[in-house]
Chains A and B, each alone.
Chain A
Amino acid sequence: AQKITQTQPGMFVQEKEAVTLDCTYDTSDPSYGLFWYKQPSSGEMIFLIYQGSYDQQNATEGRYSLNFQKARKSANLVISASQLGDSAMYFCAMREGYGDYKLSFGAGTTVTVRA
């Protein structure tokens, strides 16, 4: 079974608007972590934001925030005030268990920001 599901293959967003990227996950381990990475057309993987399963508050990093709904097993990424430089592929990933650093990735969502 897929551990990470990203149902939106591609999205368009207008510059300066917010966009939400969906991510649902599947695990039975009570200790896990959720990551979002950005991959621009140049190919590198850039870490954006992290949410731990025991974190009480939703994670935020600048214009990125994570809408963590534990009961629904979702960890959606919200990008506020989109910029042209946000055009990229975005990956949701999960590590399971304490002390385990293997990551399971979703298939990714391509975001295109329009001027």
Chain B
Amino acid sequence: NAGVTQTPKFQVLKTGQSMTLQCAQDMNHEYMSWYRQDPGMGLRLIHYSVGAGITDQGEVPNGYNVSRSTTEDFPLRLLSAAPSQTSVYFCASSYPRDRGAARQHYEQFFGPGTRLTVL
């Protein structure tokens, strides 16, 4: 299993540009989420999904869109990048469909992160 994969690893954007951060998991997890990590603030939840076709907002959703057309993929779209969106972005997944084979606490598995700079 590749686990949770994210692309790209690094990205530089200019203010106003749009882009999509890709996230995929091969663990048959129902739950996927996006966090951003800023210095001194820990990770904050942007958007999450409890299954294909279902998404909801987290703590800091403004300026971001998500969709979940398949169980495996959960892309994060920046509509019009702003310098305040400079951050490290983590995708995470949890809650396997085959729950009998998993640990009960269903920890979230994180991708390697995408470091985004908006100039």
Contact = CB atoms under 8 A, between A and B. Distances in A.
A91 B105 contact: no
Interface residues of B, number: 26
A35 B107 contact: yes
B25 interface: no
B110 interface: yes
B5 interface: no
A105 B31 CA distance: 18
A43 B113 contact: yes
A101 B113 contact: no
A33 B23 CA distance: 25
Given A50-B105, A101-B106, A107 B42 contact: yes
B100 interface: no
A12 interface: no
Contacts of A105: 35, 42-44
A105 B112 CA distance: 18
B108 to A, nearest CB: 6
Interface stretch (B65-73, B77-85, B87-95): B87-95
Contacts, number: 53
Nearest to B50: A101
A44 B45 CA distance: 17
Contacts of B45: 102-104
Q: Which of B43, B58, B109 has the largest number of chain A CB atoms within 10 A?
A: B43
A31 B110 CA distance: 23
B53 interface: no
Given A43-B88, A50-B107, A52-B105, A103 B113 contact: no
B94 to A, nearest CB: 5
20 contacts: A33-B105, A35-B107, A35-B108, A44-B110, A45-B90, A47-B107, A47-B108, A52-B104, A52-B105, A91-B43, A93-B43, A101-B33, A101-B94, A103-B33, A103-B43, A103-B108, A105-B35, A105-B43, A106-B42, A107-B42
